[in-house]
Structure 1
């Protein structure tokens, strides 16, 4: 981490943005900055390597700009996010080898904002999980996978799964994100099991959606049953809750909530649409942000504005333009990777 005097010098640069600060940086320079940041933030850099990093930063203005964008020391850019300490970030990065650390950091390098902010930490967790997943999707991507038994799985944006079939069980592990599953009959009559962060789902000849949530409401999951039924159990608990077709339930590792009616738009993403009715704008922006690379924020001043309609997920920029046309809001763009929906 930078010394106190170094931090002060960075703040003077970052807190007074200019047009030049937003000018694109050569990807090759970004790659070099990523390599230096991984080395320095790992805690294992020698004094000579730290000196070499300083010389690299001083050798060209774009080097320093790339470094500052990655470090994200501008607290004005972090407004509205939950900061993650560099120690936690370094711990996360130590969980994979050097090449994987470089790959994970490059996933957030283009943001031009805090690499250690809440979004950056979430993105790195997803990217690291996806490294070893059997199937995964990037931001805005949807993919249909047909498993060996004929079961069809649709992966929503930023989703990763593992699949393990053996003589006794067909197991799908949700590593993060959201899936729609249409189970097939198995000639060997093996049960199909979906394992996730918060619990276990056993479908009974069914079609259902499972989503894992992260956010201010804490870690939780939700299953929506479109056909058939599923049995849900939380964490390692043996108590089972039956969820019939036309129903949904939210659960955490500690408990399963009450079974309620499904949201008719819960599966609209599978057809490429985001369908909402009287949704708060801050919730809508958070949902739309799942399908974009970078950070999409909502100004608290317009958070309670209500949104209704069907929006195409394939073009989130077009959706933002539609909001500007129909609501008293406008886009404020630091770059294509950092956009705020603010009051007009």
Structure 2
């Protein structure tokens, strides 16, 4: 079997496509138990590249973890239970589709958990899912990290650089406590650009396709896509690898999370649940027919189950808990 790069001291994560291929092999073997030819084909695929073997071991580890500790990956737990309990009433293709979709969700959650734990361990400052924490940096700069966020510091004699590795951060800088640090410029870097504040308080949220900047006080220079833009208090921008553009007015209050709140203004239920899902483990979604319902209000984040329990009081929906970790909102019938 090819040498796993982990044994060489370098962490390597398999590509998502390879993980899906490993899951596909697992599903085929599960549904064709005892098929020696299929087993040989799977072994050949694993031997083709070290990344194949790594993905296979990750998926196998996931299956073992589900058996020994169901709370580790609730999505896959539900997938296996649902399949076992419902297989008699499902055709083979339907059962395979059910397990495939749910296992992909579970695997994604497990791989994300693994990556999150690794980043939390390796980052200078980090939070886990559902956690929000504030830190005072050595130069007096204050940072607040939202759920599942991580930053690194690169402070030298020439610069003060905060690298946003993932998630969302509030930065407050330029106060009297910074003292002699003013002679070294402060910058914050996301994967989409570099931000230079001037006695400012601002929020950066890094998503996969763009970074959102919201300035609450002072000013922030945006350097991205070969251009520079000045963002003033009260302004918000979306920054990707190609452009910097003004952000539309949000349907929730940006930065309310620092007070443990989600404050919505006529927000789609589907978008609201996507936001709530950032603060809890497991799988949270809603049926298509209720996704466009609108809600406004103030919701507390310290207990997301209590938060969800409020929704049927204001919307024509009901909560369906397959487990504590798998929750769907459906229309009241």
CA drift of 1:257 comes to: 1.2
Tell me, yes or no, if structure 1 residue 164 matches structure 2 residue 154. Answer: yes
Partner of 2:207: 213
TM-score normalized with structure 1 length: 0.68
Partner of 2:98: 76
1:323 equivalent among 311, 316, 320: 311
Partner of 1:18: none
Tell me, yes or no, if structure 1 residue 304 matches structure 2 residue 326. Answer: no
Partner of 1:342: 330
Q: Distance in 1 between matches of 2:196 and 2:103?
A: 35
Q: Distance in 2 between matches of 1:229 and 1:257?
A: 16
Partner of 2:272: 284
2:214 equivalent among 213, 220, 224: 224
Partner of 2:31: 8
How is 1:191-202 mapped onto 2 (pairs within 5 angstroms)? Answer: 191-202=185-196
* SS of aligned partner of 1:257: strand
Q: Distance in 2 between matches of 1:274 and 1:44?
A: 39
Partner of 2:40: none
CA drift of 1:64 comes to: 12
Q: Distance in 2 between matches of 1:241 and 1:128?
A: 34
Q: Which runs of 5+ in 2 are unaligned?
A: 1-21, 34-51, 81-95
Tell me, yes or no, if structure 1 residue 154 matches structure 2 residue 144. Answer: yes
> CA-to-partner distance for each residue in 1:302-337, whole Å, 9 max, x for gaps?
100001100001111111000022211111222222
How is 1:106-255 mapped onto 2 (pairs within 5 angstroms)? Answer: 114-115=106-107, 117=108, 119-184=109-174, 185-188=178-181, 189-214=183-208, 219-234=209-224, 237-255=225-243
CA drift of 1:131 comes to: 2.7
TM-score normalized with structure 2 length: 0.70
Q: Distance in 1 between matches of 2:256 and 2:28?
A: 52
> CA-to-partner distance for each residue in 1:227-262, whole Å, 9 max, x for gaps?
00101122xx44111100010000112221136667
CA drift of 1:3 comes to: 6.3
Aligned residues: 267
Point out the structure with the larger helix share. 2
CA drift of 1:137 comes to: 0.6
> CA-to-partner distance for each residue in 1:72-107, whole Å, 9 max, x for gaps?
57643665x895xxxxxxxxxxxxxxxxxxxxxxxx
